[in-house]
Structure 1
Amino acid sequence: MGFLEERRQSEAEAEHGQDSPRDAIEKRHPVNVPGTGRLLALPQPVAPTTIRLHVVNTETRAIGLIIFGMLCITINDTLIKFLSDGYPLHQMVFVRSVIGLSASFVFLHMEGGRSLLRTDRPALHALRAGLIVIANMTFFAALAVMPLGAATALFFVAPLFITLLAIPVLGEPVGPPRLVAVFVGLVGVGVMMAPGVDWGEISRWNLLLPLAAAACYSGMQVLTRKLGAQSAASAMAIYIQGTFIVVSSAFFLVAGNGRFADDVSNEALEFLLRAWVWPATGDLWIFALLGLMSAMIGYTLSQAYRIGTASVVASYEYVALPLAIFWGWVVFDEVPQPVVWVGVALIAGAGLVVFARERAQERALASARPIRRG
């Protein structure tokens, strides 16, 4: 375009109240290019205050999501325990997952659509989904035979397991303070499972179920750190719900008629293998609520860990402990025995120390990281 043509276009655009290309450039932080007489448009610099506010707002949203997710988890666990006398575990898992999958597709549509389901790491997603399915089913089996608060307390060794797994899997350095905290937390587990502790009719083997769930959950969270930045929260929730449906359907095909439950003496195993029954009319709303909780849990936890700092987000998971004790007391009239309170204090205290050390390490790395220019 010659000078006269450029001038005429500028005048015409000015008559219509539009900025000419040159005016638009000048409003966009123009820079003269030496020797050319031309202007180069650069983006306006972002104020440091804006960056800080964005980080704070993101962390606040992540904390809100994880707290809401913990509320949904404890409600879900309470409903599972409430229904455990009349229905098999794999039936409850199937129904909640079908409803949860439908809700997860709504979240997927809100985040961008089916294209988000594409991934170049299907094996890791499958492993992550498998781990969370095992974690949930073993923990749900524990709920059928254990007090809600005690099962939740034993499960909360998961952050300590995550610390240990982060060494070989993520290559994260773990110093002596965190290792001591892990040891203290494991002492809390030992206190609760000591031979002299009276658990009534609860088998010692059943006390291992929350610990097995914690181990699988820890592996899932480590994989989430690898996958989270590249996958939408709704997509990860759909992978999990789909895996729940596949596994519970397989249980139905193999054991849905209850043929393996007759000769089983372990109450937790019987809960897993008993026959399907048609839900009572009064229980349908509970199944519907289970499905809604399932969708909310999958989305809120994945999203919280995607947008927030892992050590900050994980520390707020301990909100589930008082909530579980509260629901156990209100719904099932369960009051934790003194040894459970001691175990809770040791496990929760150790976990919070781990998160505090991780947060301090992240801040130190952030302050030492050089700022790249140009």
Structure 2
Amino acid sequence: MSPERQNIAGLGILFVLIGVFCISINDLLIKQLSGGYPLHQIVFARSGIGILFSLIIVQYEGGFGILRTSQPGLHAMRGLLIVVANMTFFLALAVLPLADATALFFAAPLFITLLSIPMLGEKVGPLRLGAVAIGFAGVVIMQRPWAGAGELEVSRIVLLLPVLSALTYALNQILTRKLGVVSKASALAVYIQATFIVVSMAFYLVAGDGRFADGATNASLVFLLRAWVWPAGPDMWIFAGLGLNSAIIGYCLSQAYRLADAATVAPFEYIGLPLAAFWGFVVFGDLPVFEVWIGIALILGSGLFVFLRERQKARMLAHAQVRRRH
């Protein structure tokens, strides 16, 4: 691996670390708001504010002309994938502890590593594939398939929502890698936020008065369908923080997957696991149950192995190139 390529990979890793830290703050703030506001209102406010910040970055990266694209269909598909990823995760977040929902979502880097093979043509060896399999075993353990419905705090469907979110998020990041060849990170962020605004406004037109929430007992459905309300004074600052966070997340993750191979960047998203456990305990007093700790350990272990294996392969390739030049 050339020094230039290593520098680009390092920058991609830095961007993904910043993005994941901001995601942990985003999840914390949304869980705080989930008891009083509908999901589509939170998403609308978050993206409406976030797109303003992103458009400022667009000006810095080249002006509004960089928003023109010859691949509108792929950008629309990418936007819809991230909408599904976010909505399914946030619906689970309303009723699951922060660390539990985040741990289940961390099937995403495993999906990215697998999908990068057929969709991006990236090479992933048998050792890394074995590590991915161990990570998926951790996801299965967190699902507790041996437990009866009465032993689970939430329904099986709710437990599967973060996994569906992980799959759609992984597909989104694979498309980011494809589209990032010709699109700036700020433009990619604007496309996603615009999609969020369109989808949340459609939800408002259909269900904004809360009529579909009448009689609903499932907390996730209530979160999705309750009526819009004007934010209380202190909550206005939370909405503003979500908007700024949205711009940072969209830019950093788009930039990360533009600059570096998906299989190299994805394992660094695991920093979100200890962050979620930390915020969940500090703010909500939640600690993961025993099975979730096992799942977290397996996922973290597999991610660390993938990262170390990637570093080892990079060093071997660099030495081979040096020998060939001599």
Instruction: Name the residue aligned to 2:207.
Output: 255
**Percent identity, aligned pairs only?**
59
Counterparts of 1:199 and 1:159 in 2: how far apart (Å)? 29
Q: CA deviation at 1:189?
A: 1.3
Counterparts of 2:154 and 2:86 in 1: how far apart (Å)? 20
Correspondent of 1:190 among 125, 135, 140: 140
Q: Which has the larger radius of gyration?
A: 1
SS of 2:153's equivalent in the other structure is: coil
Change beyond 3 A, Cα 1:365–1:243 = farther
Q: CA deviation at 1:351?
A: 2.6
Contact 2:117 2:124 in 1 (8 A): yes
Counterparts of 1:58 and 1:193 in 2: how far apart (Å)? 37
- Does 1:293 find its partner at 2:266? no
Greater relative CO, 1 or 2 (CA 8 Å, sep 6+): 2
Contact 2:112 2:262 in 1 (8 A): no
Structure 1 residues not aligned, in runs of 5+: 1-50
What whole-Å deviation, never above 9, does each CA across 1:63-87 have from its counterpart, x for those lacking one? 3322211111000000000000000
SS of 2:213's equivalent in the other structure is: coil
Counterparts of 2:110 and 2:28 in 1: how far apart (Å)? 25
Instruction: Name the residue aligned to 2:167.
Output: 215
Q: Where do residues 1-20 of structure 1 align in structure 2 (5 Å cutoff)?
A: none
Q: CA deviation at 1:115?
A: 1.2
What whole-Å deviation, never above 9, does each CA across 1:216-247 have from its counterpart, x for those lacking one? 01101111111112110000000000000000
Instruction: Name the residue aligned to 2:114.
Output: 164
Counterparts of 2:302 and 2:243 in 1: how far apart (Å)? 33
Task: Report how many aligned residue pairs link the two structures.
Answer: 322
AA aligned to 2:110 is L
Contact 1:70 1:320 in 2 (8 A): yes
- Does 1:90 find its partner at 2:37? no
Contact 1:160 1:354 in 2 (8 A): no
Contact 1:138 1:210 in 2 (8 A): yes
SS of 2:70's equivalent in the other structure is: coil
SS of 1:127's equivalent in the other structure is: helix
SS of 2:36's equivalent in the other structure is: coil
Change beyond 3 A, Cα 1:216–1:359 = farther
Contact 2:116 2:263 in 1 (8 A): no
What whole-Å deviation, never above 9, does each CA across 1:39-83 have from its counterpart, x for those lacking one? xxxxxxxxxxxx73x555444433332221111100000000000
Q: Which moved more, 1:310-319 or 1:247-256?
A: 310-319
Correspondent of 1:202 among 146, 151, 154: 154
What whole-Å deviation, never above 9, does each CA across 1:78-107 have from its counterpart, x for those lacking one? 000000000000000000000000000001
Counterparts of 1:121 and 1:355 in 2: how far apart (Å)? 32
AA aligned to 2:159 is L
Q: Where do residues 16-165 of structure 1 align in structure 2 (5 Å cutoff)?
A: 52=3, 54-55=4-5, 57-165=7-115
AA aligned to 1:263 is G
Q: CA deviation at 1:349?
A: 1.5
Change beyond 3 A, Cα 1:63–1:176 = closer
Change beyond 3 A, Cα 1:199–1:220 = farther
Counterparts of 1:347 and 1:125 in 2: how far apart (Å)? 30
Structure 2 residues not aligned, in runs of 5+: none
- Does 1:325 find its partner at 2:288? no
Counterparts of 1:305 and 1:363 in 2: how far apart (Å)? 21
Q: CA deviation at 1:120?
A: 1.5
Q: CA deviation at 1:362?
A: 5.4
Counterparts of 2:319 and 2:258 in 1: how far apart (Å)? 22
The RMSD of aligned alpha carbons is 2.4
Q: CA deviation at 1:167?
A: 3.0
Counterparts of 1:313 and 1:160 in 2: how far apart (Å)? 12
Instruction: Name the residue aligned to 2:264.
Output: 312
Q: Which moved more, 1:138-147 or 1:169-178?
A: 169-178
Decide which structure has greater helix share.
2
Q: CA deviation at 1:365?
A: 5.8
TM-score scaled by structure 1? 0.80
Q: CA deviation at 1:355?
A: 3.7
Q: CA deviation at 1:306?
A: 1.9
Counterparts of 1:365 and 1:310 in 2: how far apart (Å)? 18
Change beyond 3 A, Cα 1:59–1:167 = closer
Q: CA deviation at 1:163?
A: 2.4
Instruction: Name the residue aligned to 1:22.
Output: none
Q: What stretches of structure 1 move > 4 A for 4+ residues in a row?
A: 54-57, 197-200, 358-371
Change beyond 3 A, Cα 1:343–1:264 = same
